[in-house]
Amino acid sequence: MILGIGTDLANIDRIQGTLDRFGDRFRNRVFTEIEQSKAERRADVAGTYAKRWAAKEACSKALGTGLAMGIAWKDMSVTNLRTGQPVMHVTGWAADRLKEMTPEGYEAIIHVTLTDDHPWAQAFVVIEARPLHDAPAQP
């Protein structure tokens, strides 16, 4: 079952302007060390940060809270599998909220997808609840 859906659209030029103006202060407030490492070694640094910004916004919406209700930016982070597929991780208050909204007997799976086409970066997050134990096979 679907527990939550969120999306966000971020302007890459706006993120570049924020990086230019606030630099490490912005990076360290919003992004984990892993996210910063990934972004800083990419050709499109601002685009990489913008996609992760959008993912955090989308995740907070899927959690049903937005960022105003106590979730910290770093409570949500994006890494990538070897295949390049993005993976959303939640800690702190975001993890608590995810646990609270997940029905007993289910596990929550967070799906995230990212895309960009300058000057836009976009993310979609879907939170799915899967039964912990599959129903027995029917004969």
What is the mean pLDDT of the segment spanning 98-125? Answer: 97
pLDDT greater than 90 at residue 88: yes
Among 12-16, 22-26, 52-56, 129-133, where is mean pLDDT lowest? 129-133
pLDDT of residue 133: 78
The answer to whether residue 136 is domain-embedded is no
CATH number of the CATH domain containing 14: 3.90.470.20
Q: What is the pLDDT of residues 44-77, one digit of tens each?
A: 999 999 999 999 999 999 999 876 666 789 999 9
Q: Going by C-beta distance under 8 Å and a sequence separation of 6 or more, which residues neighbour residue 88?
A: 55, 59, 76, 77, 78, 110, 111, 112, 125
Binding-site residues for Mg(2+) sit at: 8, 57
Distance CA 36, CA 110 (A): 21
Asked whether residue 138 is assigned to any structural domain, the reply reads no
116-130 per-position pLDDT tens digit: 999 999 999 999 999
For position 134, what pLDDT does the model report?
Answer: 63
Domain boundaries, position 19: 2-131
The pTM assigned to this predicted structure is 0.91
Distance CA 96, CA 84 (A): 27
Any domain includes 139: no
Residue position matching structure tokens 């407030």: 29
Residue 9 within a domain = yes
Cα-based distances in Å from 86 to 38, 51, 106: 12, 10, 23
Mean of the per-residue pLDDT values of the chain: 93
Q: Is the pLDDT of residue 139 over 60?
A: no
Q: List, as residue ranges, the binding site.
A: 8, 57
Residue with tokens 């997940």: 102
Coil, helix or strand at residue 77? strand
Instruction: Evaluate whether residue 39 is within a structural domain.
Output: yes
Domain count, the chain: 1
